[in-house]
């Protein structure tokens, strides 16, 4: 296997299950963090080409907040939590009680809060994988970036372009009060790590 689209339907179901468990864990943690009930739709797990992602996220010039974590150990790769302006404003409003007009001018406390939210979200999926597969994974300190979508995605694109032109994307839609917000998680395991995921779960991953 040398690209994500080589995996079969059975393996895709495994990814969906990881997405379901990770999303459940993430919502529980996030609800506790902001002390507010959150409901979530069924997560949408997609295998996409890099070049398709910016358009799906609102275009390459759309402002996003990206929280990046690197994995090492039994699995190697990256997790990136992409936060829309609307999502950040809603979460920071609940968490800090402040109204954010421009996410590009966040103070240190707000940046720290966003970074922690991204860390919680990504680690919820990472923990779901490691528990299901009995693997040991080390996670880096989260790194946050606020920029246009195209610029944020250039980091994983440059790193993974030599490995694959595809990535795994998990789309979550949240509901609380009268608001609906969407977030995306990009999962970029290196190819040998992707193979290890499916072998650990006893799946024949090749289509």
- The whole-number pLDDT of residue 2 equals 57
Q: What is the CATH number of domain 4-200?
A: 3.40.1550.10
Prediction pTM value: 0.85
Rounded-to-integer distance, Cα 136 and Cα 181, Å: 32
Q: Which residue, among 75, 195, 62, 58, has the nearest Cα to 128 in the 3D structure?
A: 75
pLDDT of residue 72: 93
Closest CA to 124 of 12, 20, 23, 14: 23
The pLDDT score that the predictor gives to residue 203 is 56
- 122, 31, 174, 127 alpha-carbon torsion, rounded to 10°: 20
pLDDT string in tens for the chain (207-residue length): 556 666 677 777 777 787 788 888 888 888 888 888 888 887 888 888 878 888 888 889 999 999 999 999 988 888 889 988 888 888 888 888 888 888 888 999 999 999 988 898 888 888 888 887 888 999 999 999 999 998 998 877 777 666 667 778 888 888 888 888 888 888 887 777 877 877 776 655 554
3-state helix, strand, coil in the chain (%, to 5): 50, 30, 25
Tell me, what's the pLDDT at 1? 53
Q: What is the pLDDT of residue 174?
A: 84
From residue 79, give the alpha-carbon distance in Å to each of 70, 98, 141, 143, 169. Answer: 6, 28, 12, 11, 10
């Amino acid at each position: 296997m040398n690209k994500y689209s080589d995996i079969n339907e059975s393996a895709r179901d495994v990814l969906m299950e990881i997405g379901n468990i990770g999303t459940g864990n993430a919502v529980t943690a996030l609800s506790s963090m902001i002390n507010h009930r959150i409901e979530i739709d069924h997560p949408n797990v997609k295998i996409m080409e890099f070049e398709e992602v910016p358009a799906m996220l609102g275009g390459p010039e759309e402002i996003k907040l990206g929280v990046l974590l690197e994995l090492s150990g039994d699995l190697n790769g990256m997790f990136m939590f992409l936060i829309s302006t609307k999502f950040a404003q809603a979460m920071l409003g609940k968490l800090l009680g402040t109204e954010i007009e421009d996410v590009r001018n966040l103070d240190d406390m707000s940046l720290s809060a966003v970074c922690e939210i991204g860390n919680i979200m990504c680690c919820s999926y990472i923990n779901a994988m490691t528990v299901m597969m009995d693997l040991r994974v080390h996670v880096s300190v989260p790194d946050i970036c606020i920029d246009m979508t195209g610029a944020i995605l250039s980091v994983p694109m440059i790193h993974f372009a030599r490995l694959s032109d595809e990535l795994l994307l998990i789309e979550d839609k949240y509901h609380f009060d009268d608001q609906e917000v969407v977030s995306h998680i990009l999962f970029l395991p290196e190819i040998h790590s992707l193979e290890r995921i499916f072998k650990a779960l006893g799946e024949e991953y090749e289509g």
